[in-house]
Structure 1
Amino acid sequence: MSASPETLAGDSLSVEIDGVVYPARKGAMIIEVTDANGITVPRFCYHPKLPVAANCRMCMVQVEMGGRMMPKPLPACATPVADGMKVWTKSDYARDAQRAVMEFLLINHPLDCPICDQGGECELQDLALGYGRGVSRFTEDKRVVADKDFGPLIATAMTRCIHCTRCVRFLEHVAGHKELGGTGRGENVEIGTWIEHSIESELSGNVIDVCPVGALTSKPFLYRARAWEMIETPGIGPHDCVGSNLYLHTRRGELLRVASRDNEAVNEVWLSDRDRFGYEGINSDDRLMQPMVRRDGEWQAVDWEQALQAAVDGLRGRGADLGVLASPSATVEEHVLLARLAAGLGTANIDHRLRQADFTGQEDAPLYPALGRSIESLERADAVLVIGGNPRKDQPMLGHRLRKAALAGAAVMHIDMVEPVLTYPLAQRVVVAPDRLVQSLAGVAAALLQAKGARAPEALQPLLDSTLPDATEQAIAATLTDAGDAVLLLGIGAHMHPAFSALRALAVLVAELSGASLGFLADGANAAGAHLAGVLPHREAGGRARAASGLDAAAMLRDPRKAWLLLGIEPELDCADGAAALAALQKAEFVVALTPFATAAM
């Protein structure tokens, strides 16, 4: 609901900054107002996504309140604006305070810039140029701090640390893992883990981004290149269905680093570790650099013309004897071309749902299995029910949104077959054996039917009529009904369940009865795109029903095809039954694998 003009007027005030009057929100800090109006105030510890710490003191400004000049400069990040307040960010008084803080920060900072990976994108470098002295007056011994071992992803140079505590606050308040802290006092404070172990958070790489100096850098990227040597290309995270925005940093065609790209609607300013560091697989020793053809039982490198001709000769005329399996993480363009190729070869045996076991009632599945709402809106939900999934590990940035929702007061609930360690509090948790998952969700549906006085759909009637909900299932149903904005999420575990069709039907019913939105958290980065592109045995591109359905992924493996076309998959790892997949492929007369890696199974 939008605020009324009276409410807006009551929440706004005026503040004068450097001689210009600006409107400001009541309760906002000075630095928020200056940032919103393009006024530069130096800072190290302040970050718009982190709680205020006010421990670097770099953002000192001169303030007049009620006609009285404050006796000391005040930190802009921790000083709320007041009506009629006057602020000077560039007066001699403010500049002297900022320069003094910079001088203190540089007392112990080593001259590592020539060999520091942060060089060229370092906040301390930039601000030292504007606020630092040309010559140091400090003649005492500098403090030296031993480097810490934070694990295989984060390199440390703790002598460079300026104690801004951004990394500490990120892990505690954003990632939900209080793994770092400060020990000691004054200049002898040291940032480290509590019991000398590696950082385990799935979002740990973000401490590299928030660190304003070179104390925390990327270990895989260490000493590889300078920031100004690389070309920055926007990309999308390939590891889950969230689609986190990122940048690919390349030099002379070689991918050297991945960094977060701001998008408040998707991943804010953060990035999961697998999206940030997963690029290393590109340079794996198993990477294929040219086409290969098996001749007389041996792999031989050939040129593209020979490889394509061999594929054409082997696939032509196969018709229904051809099976096509695609990665759910392939691009839409790849999915569209693959579907067209399969149609041209005369087969409808095409599927991307490699880890799904139950295809019953697939005609009733949504044409576009999406989240059903914006990712950003999840953090404003009043109630969330996750069925058969662990967003913290399966979709880390979506798990981050659920954490924000829970901390804001939302009732987050889980029905699952395991009890994962989560970073947010749960209002209700049901952990059951796999063969009881359907029964548990049916209990929630039955409780809703009783509360609404409604009848179950005919297909679900035998199950629901025999289901007696327990107290927890009734509580979940009541929470969903009472919530102003409720969400149901079907996770990867539900999609892989042997009774997925029943879980999907029950989830649809629960969503309808409670007024909740229903989202599908499918496996892979682009399962929804594969649905739209027609990489399905029963639907063509755009969701049109096929005149004659082909075989789904599981059916193809049960009744192996004579020829196979594989796109971006490792069957032994990507299929629900890896052993059956390998056995089916070994029986085939001809297999074409479009894959970037060679594997032992090939």
Structure 2
Amino acid sequence: MSAQPVNPNLPPDHVTVFIDGVEMAAPKGSMIIQAADKAGIPIPRFCYHDKLAIAANCRMCLVEVEKMPKPAPACATPVMDGMKVVTRSDKALKSQRNVMEFLLINHPLDCPICDQGGECELQDLSLGYGRSVSRFVERKRVVPDEDLGPLVATEMTRCIQCTRCVRFTAEIAGTYELGGMSRGENLQIGTYDGKPLTTELSGNVIDVCPVGALTNKVFRFRARPWELVARESLGYHDALGSNLFLHARRGEVLRAVPRDNETVNECWLSDRDRYSHQGLGADDRAVQPLIREGDDFRAASWDEALARAAQILRDNAADDLGMLVHPSTSNEEGALLARMAEGLGTGNLDHRIGQRDLSGDAVAAPFAMPVADIANAGTIVIVGSNLRHEVPLLHHRVRQAWRKGARVHVVNPVDFDFTFDVASKAIVAPSRIAAALGGTDLAAAVGEGERMVVIVGALAEAGAHAGAIRSAAERFASAHGAALCRIPQGANALGLSRHGVLPASRDAQAMLRDTRSAYVLYGIEPGLDFADQALALKALKGAQVVAFSQFACASTRAVADVILPIGALPEIEATLTNLEGIDQRAVPAGRLPGEARAGWRVLRALGGELGLDGFEFIDIAPLGASMQPRHVAVQSGQAPQVDGGLELAVAPAIYRSDAMVRRAPALQAHPLTLGPRIVVHPADAGALGVGDGAMARVSNHAGTATLQVTVSDQVAAGTVFVESGYGATAALTAGNVQVVPA
């Protein structure tokens, strides 16, 4: 290695290295293994992961470097100009094989029964670097397993102490739940306190584990990897649209794994997207068309059910019809619903079923800053959001920015737990969020930060004061030159807005207040998905209802006259539009249950039965080609009346956010599923005479519930915090509440 650059034409921040005789340019400070990976030269490794800090503790990546007397770990040796590296010399191969022999000394020989068999990095590398016989004759050590909760299974005797899982929980999840205990041959990886993993990203430790020590508890022993077929799909429980593969065997979806996309979810996946497929097999899946007869339902043929649905829509067309659509509905289905509404002459069409205040600019808009760029923001202001639960991997991007030095400011009614430090916070009642955004305290704390982004979440967008908060957020972002990023309220809220699933006349709240004689419900669980459950159920029970549904649940049966079974996203071909405005495609992985059909097929058949234009296609390709953005002049909705009493702050419970997640047993057993409760400030609890853990009667104009009380100073004074998605709290989301001891 000379003092002069080997290649003077390279940029000043690059050097020339030679790996196995191949000359290449590599950034200064990068490691040998990174340069080799870029050139496609394989170097074995276990502890190295390109998203985690370098540990250099497995030593499997030892290579020979010119003028170095001993083999060097490729993951921890920085490149230098003129460096010559050999990855498969006798010295390198002997070192790698010795390391493999040491790794296998205590590893159990249980490959035939190991649930990681077939996709185990240790198994793969041992084939190339292991001996045919072991020279180790002493007893192997045994490590007791830990119960890490309902999602991750453990066989810690297999652990090779690569510490990938430890670094993941510390660096990516930010929860520091796993660590190494004891030393030397007694080193064990665990939680120390024996408690389950509580991070919302815990399933990623399965992906980073190179052996069978941490595996998918839901998928375990259900299939071998070579039996599975991988299909590209998307996460549809938040607006990020995480890319993933669904693995299926004979049409049954058995697991989900992340699909790399650096601009969306990198190589990670939230637990909600990873395990929600369990809901596909729920007992109340809608598997055949049903028609009401008296107080019960009977099975019907598709022809009969479509004829009955068409008759209801003909008899109640134009302004007598309201059409309510779940915000995770695909673009194809949304476009057909908009065509159907136009053909039937109704402007009462809306997907914003979970939002109370539709005044002002209540239509979803794409982020003003790409998600990947948020990781490089300098100042971030979070408004009205439990971001960690609402969009877990967007929260991860904010944590990335914080680790690079960004300052995070929060305006919220609850002091939620984030995995980053907060530079300033205003914990105020929902009615005061708009004033806090316009106040001098926040402006002084934020200053003139560079690369500023304002993120507005569900507590603001879906609450009773959403209109005022949206306006205040726009003014704040404009005054500070910040990118305004309002999180769409639904996995495809942005796509549905683009394709015209918006009201030309009555919005979702208006068509429920001013009841229609008939409704179309699309993908909705009526008992839990509406912002005002009492108002919705009252309107629906007094009307004729055609329900397109994945589930024939009790609340759907209570209101529907016809139930048409449709497929969920893992079972159909569809596109969703994520929060950046990017269309992403999913292909079917699981087979449709029973007589269920893809929603676009059912809509096509119903449109044909009604004789409407735009339903002449027979395949999804011509449907996609015919879809165009549809502009709807949406009038500002009516702001809701606010009752007296304690203000209500409502956020969706992380694992109760939609019908599919609510039916995933593993997620319902997770520690983050806390159950229905109210959280009250200590001062308010004292004034009301309720204590922590006591039961209280909580009521408003919509209903009454008896709930357990949690007293916490994390909630703003004068405010009650409730998580939605539970039957017990459904009625309470409609307005401010009165609380008395039970």
TM-score, length basis structure 1: 0.89
Corresponding residue for 1:284? Answer: 282
| Alignment of 1:534 onto 2:532 | no
C-alpha contact (below 8 Å) 2:430/2:460 kept by paired residues? no
Amino acid of the structure 1 residue aligned with 2:444: A
Query: CA shift at 1:476, angstroms?
Result: 3.8
Amino acid of the structure 2 residue aligned with 1:41: I
Corresponding residue for 1:525? Answer: 491
| Among 549, 552, 555, the residue aligned to 1:598 | 552
C-alpha contact (below 8 Å) 2:181/2:192 kept by paired residues? no
Give RMSD over aligned pairs. Answer: 1.5
Instruction: Between 140-149 and 39-48, report the one with greater CA deviation.
Output: 140-149
Q: Residue 546 of structure 2 aligns to a residue in which SS?
A: strand
Amino acid of the structure 1 residue aligned with 2:54: V
C-alpha contact (below 8 Å) 2:265/2:393 kept by paired residues? yes
Aligned mates of 1:24, 1:55 — CA distance in 2: 24
Amino acid of the structure 1 residue aligned with 2:547: A
Aligned mates of 2:221, 2:389 — CA distance in 1: 30
Q: How does 1:86-165 map to 2 (within 5 A)?
A: 86-165=84-163
Query: CA shift at 1:113, angstroms?
Result: 1.5
Aligned mates of 1:501, 1:561 — CA distance in 2: 26
Counterparts in 2 of 1:574 and 1:7: CA distance versus 1, 3 Å:
farther
| Among 34, 37, 43, the residue aligned to 2:36 | 34
Aligned mates of 1:134, 1:237 — CA distance in 2: 44
Q: Runs in 1 of length 4+ with deviation above 3 angstroms?
A: 5-8
Corresponding residue for 1:451? Answer: none
Amino acid of the structure 1 residue aligned with 2:536: A
Corresponding residue for 1:346? Answer: 345
Q: Residue 277 of structure 1 aligns to a residue in which SS?
A: helix
| Alignment of 1:575 onto 2:530 | yes
| Alignment of 1:433 onto 2:429 | yes
Aligned mates of 2:529, 2:295 — CA distance in 1: 25
Aligned mates of 1:6, 1:436 — CA distance in 2: 61
C-alpha contact (below 8 Å) 1:175/1:423 kept by paired residues? yes
Aligned mates of 1:585, 1:531 — CA distance in 2: 24
Instruction: Between 521-530 and 111-120, report the one with greater CA deviation.
Output: 111-120
Query: CA shift at 1:9, angstroms?
Result: 2.8
C-alpha contact (below 8 Å) 1:293/1:307 kept by paired residues? yes
Aligned mates of 1:476, 1:530 — CA distance in 2: 37
Aligned mates of 2:525, 2:22 — CA distance in 1: 62
Amino acid of the structure 1 residue aligned with 2:149: G
Query: CA shift at 1:474, angstroms?
Result: 2.9
C-alpha contact (below 8 Å) 2:29/2:79 kept by paired residues? yes
Corresponding residue for 1:544? Answer: none
C-alpha contact (below 8 Å) 2:26/2:35 kept by paired residues? yes
| Alignment of 1:74 onto 2:72 | yes
C-alpha contact (below 8 Å) 2:369/2:453 kept by paired residues? no
Q: How does 1:26-425 map to 2 (within 5 A)?
A: 26-64=28-66, 68=67, 70-318=68-316, 319-362=318-361, 369-425=365-421
| Alignment of 1:474 onto 2:439 | no
Corresponding residue for 1:449? Answer: none
C-alpha contact (below 8 Å) 1:317/1:345 kept by paired residues? no
Aligned mates of 1:149, 1:553 — CA distance in 2: 45
Q: Residue 113 of structure 1 aligns to a residue in which SS?
A: coil
Q: Residue 225 of structure 1 aligns to a residue in which SS?
A: coil
Aligned mates of 2:359, 2:9 — CA distance in 1: 53
Q: How does 1:14-29 map to 2 (within 5 A)?
A: 14-29=16-31
C-alpha contact (below 8 Å) 2:63/2:74 kept by paired residues? yes
Q: Residue 371 of structure 1 aligns to a residue in which SS?
A: coil
In percent, how many aligned pairs have the same letter? 53
Matched length = 549
Aligned mates of 1:93, 1:360 — CA distance in 2: 72
Corresponding residue for 1:558? Answer: 513
| Among 503, 506, 511, the residue aligned to 2:472 | 506
Aligned mates of 1:194, 1:292 — CA distance in 2: 53
C-alpha contact (below 8 Å) 1:31/1:77 kept by paired residues? yes
Query: CA shift at 1:171, angstroms?
Result: 0.5
Aligned mates of 2:177, 2:416 — CA distance in 1: 18
Aligned mates of 2:346, 2:10 — CA distance in 1: 62
Query: CA shift at 1:224, angstroms?
Result: 0.8
Aligned mates of 1:91, 1:110 — CA distance in 2: 30
C-alpha contact (below 8 Å) 2:233/2:244 kept by paired residues? yes
Instruction: Between 490-499 and 157-166, report the one with greater CA deviation.
Output: 490-499
Corresponding residue for 2:606? Answer: none
Consecutive unaligned residues of structure 2, counting only runs of 5 or more, are 1-6, 558-742
Query: CA shift at 1:273, angstroms?
Result: 0.3
Aligned mates of 2:179, 2:129 — CA distance in 1: 29
C-alpha contact (below 8 Å) 2:117/2:123 kept by paired residues? yes
Aligned mates of 1:132, 1:585 — CA distance in 2: 67
Aligned mates of 1:280, 1:510 — CA distance in 2: 42
Aligned mates of 1:9, 1:256 — CA distance in 2: 48
Query: CA shift at 1:177, angstroms?
Result: 0.7
Counterparts in 2 of 1:232 and 1:19: CA distance versus 1, 3 Å:
same
Aligned mates of 2:382, 2:315 — CA distance in 1: 46
Deviation sequence 1:59-116 (CA, Å, 0-9, x none): 011112xxx3x22211111111112222111000000000000011111111222222
Aligned mates of 2:10, 2:461 — CA distance in 1: 46
| Alignment of 1:515 onto 2:481 | yes
Counterparts in 2 of 1:474 and 1:374: CA distance versus 1, 3 Å:
closer
Aligned mates of 1:566, 1:304 — CA distance in 2: 18
Q: Residue 524 of structure 2 aligns to a residue in which SS?
A: coil
Deviation sequence 1:545-599 (CA, Å, 0-9, x none): xxxxx211111221221111001111221111112211111111x1111111122
Query: CA shift at 1:8, angstroms?
Result: 6.4
Aligned mates of 1:532, 1:273 — CA distance in 2: 29
Amino acid of the structure 1 residue aligned with 2:15: L
Query: CA shift at 1:6, angstroms?
Result: 9.9
C-alpha contact (below 8 Å) 2:379/2:446 kept by paired residues? no
Query: CA shift at 1:201, angstroms?
Result: 0.3
Aligned mates of 1:570, 1:579 — CA distance in 2: 13
Corresponding residue for 2:703? Answer: none
Aligned mates of 1:502, 1:389 — CA distance in 2: 16
Whose helix proportion is higher, 1 or 2? 1
C-alpha contact (below 8 Å) 2:32/2:78 kept by paired residues? yes
Deviation sequence 1:249-289 (CA, Å, 0-9, x none): 11111111100000000000000000001110111111111
Aligned mates of 1:303, 1:124 — CA distance in 2: 53
Aligned mates of 2:155, 2:446 — CA distance in 1: 51
C-alpha contact (below 8 Å) 2:239/2:487 kept by paired residues? yes
Amino acid of the structure 2 residue aligned with 1:581: A
Aligned mates of 2:256, 2:92 — CA distance in 1: 38
Q: Residue 315 of structure 2 aligns to a residue in which SS?
A: coil
C-alpha contact (below 8 Å) 2:239/2:490 kept by paired residues? yes
Aligned mates of 1:339, 1:21 — CA distance in 2: 58
Aligned mates of 1:415, 1:8 — CA distance in 2: 47
Q: Residue 316 of structure 1 aligns to a residue in which SS?
A: helix
Query: CA shift at 1:370, angstroms?
Result: 1.2
C-alpha contact (below 8 Å) 1:384/1:489 kept by paired residues? yes
Corresponding residue for 1:584? Answer: 539
Aligned mates of 2:444, 2:402 — CA distance in 1: 17
Aligned mates of 2:99, 2:510 — CA distance in 1: 69
